[in-house]
Structure 1
Amino acid sequence: MTTTLINIAQDKALRIYGAIDCCLYYTSGKKTKPAHLIEFKRGKGQKPFTQDIKRLAALINSAAEINNRTSKSRFETAYFITTTQYLESHTNEYVRNHMYEKLKRVDDQIQEEYKEISLEYDVFQLGKSLHNDELNNTRNAWAVIVEISTHQ
């Protein structure tokens, strides 16, 4: 049986962190095998956020193990992109520090579980949210991008 990204993603052992909801993958050059996976999520709390990144780390780790055995996998990197909202009254510094603290905790957990996986991440403001909350508070929309890859 040929190992593909779909086979890896459907592996029940890797599904302990949940299913992939919305993603794109792309190939490099003329190759037909996926090299990168991009998963998109709407803003969520800390636990699902952590689970999503752990799932992608497990996929990258599994693909790296297959590549080491067979040299057939081109799957190299996964990206996790999510959006979130913060009250307009929160300063940019507060939001960035808060998100970087969350991401650092996730990074520490990944390092404990997968020694060969590294995370790089960034947080940036997208602008004002189109919707106010139930108390009519204005919110700013933020994006979080996480790159998950093997140590090269």
Structure 2
Amino acid sequence: MIEKEFNNLTTKPEVQIFMKQFKRSDRLDHVWMSVLRNSDFSKVLIAVIQKVLIISHGNAFVERGFSMNKEIIVDNQLTRSLIAQRQVYNGVQALGGLKNVEITKKSILKMRNAGSLYSQALDNQKKDDEKSKKAWREKDCTNM
């Protein structure tokens, strides 16, 4: 089903024209997401293409990280969460493994404070969302 849907996508003339304009300096993930955004295809196809784009392009560092990414990817996981988990993993590996991670009083205090920082970040995000919605409503009302 996905293969058929992908074949239908790639045989569309507008997609073929779009792909011919692709330059090696362009980001491949941005190109594919633009194509999919402008087409009517299932979320499953989009998810498959996103996961395929995670695959390495011959870079040994990325290849080593791919198996770790596979283990930590969750269906509803935010990109920020995946990046944060990967940064922690890379930091631990840079120190030579868990046995070499020094747990200081400062790090313990940071971890204790992480919950309140997270709540504060969520509150800030809600405020920003409300501001943007309000600005959008005001802009929408002035256009009437």
Shorter-chain TM range is under 0.3
TM (normalized to structure 2)? 0.24
Larger Rg: 2
The structure with more helix, counted as a fraction of residues? 2
TM-score (norm 1): 0.24
Structure with greater strand percent: 1
